[in-house]
Structure 1
Amino acid sequence: MGAILAEVSLRLYRRPLGDPAPYRAAIQRLHATIEDVSVAAADGASLKAWFVQPEHPNGRSVVILHGVTDNRLGASGFSAMFLNKGYAVLLPDSRAHGLSGGSIATYGVLEREDVHRWAQWLRTRAPGCTYLLGESMGAAIGLQAEPVTPQLCAAAVESPYSTFRAISYERLGRGAHTGALFWRTLGRPIIEFAILYTQLRYGVQLPNANPEAAVMSAATPTLLIAGDKDVDIPMHHAQELERLCASHCALWIVPGAAHGEASLVAHAEFENRVIGWFESHDDAPAP
């Protein structure tokens, strides 16, 4: 059971990218340009992305990270609010997602360095501040990338989990209708074997997917966003993270928002808060 759980968690469904024509048409209406780009990960995996340049760039850029089993197209809806303000936008496919290489997803263990490489690449195209917006798994990856990505001036993350272990107990408890307590106690040997199996077979230690440790070791100004109706990653994860990084983090709880719905429930406020957060942490003046 532990081996099966490990394989199911690592080898995720790879959602097809879908038809990008509507998104490309929307970019054209904004008089922006879109480019297919790639970088090589530390392990040689080819990481793919879209780089979108606004008509009147301000020198700043935003990396937008999608959630689990999604891809860049699923996160592309956030583009317009940044392009309209002059920010360049990078939409990467996470490893083992979309068109990016990599055989397994590691929830931040390898992805944090992938984000670092994208941030380095962005500085060659947009010399001002680099920001990050992440959702769900992308939020957790973004937090874990902060200690290794000093180029980030600020980040905004929606529905992040606190640790891989904590969210594993809760997600398995919800999916199996057993509750998280079962997986913290009687079911824990299954999880521990899955972790050991992953380490022995793939050389990846999943407990190192730990946003809590990351926010304590980084000082990146971070806006934590959570919906009070989120049952996939309950808001207590964001609250726990905020307690650990209160010196450089802020927390926004969105009433009525389920998982990843903050921008739907409070669209105007979401845009104002995120862009306002970025603009208040601009350590690299735009050209």
Structure 2
Amino acid sequence: MALRRIILAGLGLSVFAAAAVLAAGELLSAAAPHAIGEAPRDLAARTVQLRVNADATVAGWYAPGQAGHGAVLLLHGVRADRRAMLDRARFLKRAGFAVLLIDLPSHGESSGERITFGWREAEGVKAALAFLRQELPGEKVGVIGVSLGAASLVLARDLKAPDAAVLESMYPAIEDAVGDRLALYLGQPARHLSPLLLWQLPLRTGIGLEQLRPEAVLPALKTPVLIASGSADTRTPWHETLRLYAAAGQPKQLWMVQGADHVDLHAYAPSAYEAMVLAFLRRHLHGDATPRQAAR
């Protein structure tokens, strides 16, 4: 009887663990729609609906800037929306840049049924860049992408590259992203559970693991990049950021935000963030002669 109880308990635990893994897989890729509405008055932005294809649109806010200053596309992190980038939009607009904040596909008010960790979100990025180039012919265009937003830019296929890109807290490969989060929440041995989550990805999204490796395609992004991450980031550890920096082409900069975890780097260190990012964008988007700051 004791053996039978042990066997039954083991089976019950196995069923529970399998159900938990399946539920986690569903949660990770489920869409994150949010009602948002009009832009805050101080941004002086208009709402835009950008056509991605016959079945998909991307929602956003566009605020014009000063002629010759360039434009910046702002891309939020996973399960967020354009509102997460509002404070960045405000300081960029004060500096004269035009700004476009979008909801990535399957987020906010944009269409989409599954989060795909940058793969299909990249189509929304391409539509947004095309909008800015049509709206502002002759202006240079930069991108600031946070986590998923950064990956969505890097994973874009057949992309006419922007003139500068700030990549914040970006995962190098989906295997790293899943393993890091399992270790964070369940301890290092939980990394061995990664395959149980990763095998669901193609089934739920139709996307293979090999398609979700920003590190592998980053060299093809032919634009100046500023790669930033927190020194205490537990979801994208610093050694992974160093891998991304090594993979990126020149010109490139690296910025370690001391003490920051996987958080909003602008909110964590606003003065340092604005100084670093403005210097980078001015240098590449309108030829500002601001001296290069220390990369780390």
Place the TM-score, normalised by the shorter chain, in its bin. 0.7 to 0.9
Q: Which has the higher contact order (CA 8 A, sep 6+)?
A: 1
AA of the residue aligned to 2:160: P
Matches within 5 A, 1:79-94: 79-94=89-104
| TM-score, scaled relative to structure 2 | 0.82
Of 254-263 and 165-174, deviating more is 254-263
Task: State, as a whole percentage, how many aligned pairs show the same letter.
Answer: 24
| TM-score, scaled relative to structure 1 | 0.84
Match of 2:199, SS state, is: helix
Task: From the superposition, tell whether residues 279 and 258 of structure 1 become closer, same or farther in structure 2 (CA, over 3 Å).
Answer: same
Q: CA deviation at 1:264?
A: 3.1
- Please give the per-residue CA displacement for 1:114-173, whole angstroms capped at 9, x wherever unaligned: 21121111111122111000112112223323x633240010121111111111111122
Matches within 5 A, 1:1-287: 1=18, 3-17=22-36, 24-27=40-43, 33-42=44-53, 44-54=55-65, 56-58=66-68, 60-127=70-137, 128-145=139-156, 148-175=158-185, 177-179=186-188, 181-183=189-191, 185=192, 187-198=193-204, 202-245=205-248, 247-282=250-285
CA–CA distance in 2 between the matches of 1:43 and 1:168?
32
CA–CA distance in 1 between the matches of 2:64 and 2:286?
21
**Larger Cα-atom Rg:** 2
CA–CA distance in 1 between the matches of 2:166 and 2:233?
17
Q: CA deviation at 1:6?
A: 3.1
Match of 1:30 in 2: none
The CA RMSD over aligned residues, in Å, is 2.4
CA–CA distance in 2 between the matches of 1:140 and 1:167?
12
Task: From the superposition, tell whether residues 61 and 5 of structure 1 become closer, same or farther in structure 2 (CA, over 3 Å).
Answer: same
Consecutive unaligned residues of structure 1, counting only runs of 5 or more, are: 28-32
Q: CA deviation at 1:16?
A: 4.2
Count of matched residue pairs: 268
Q: CA deviation at 1:247?
A: 2.8
- Cα pair 2:171 2:236 within 8 Å, conserved: yes
Of 255-264 and 96-105, deviating more is 255-264
Consecutive unaligned residues of structure 2, counting only runs of 5 or more, are: 1-17, 289-296
AA of the residue aligned to 1:7: E
CA–CA distance in 2 between the matches of 1:265 and 1:152?
26
- Please give the per-residue CA displacement for 1:1-20, whole angstroms capped at 9, x wherever unaligned: 46434322210443443x75
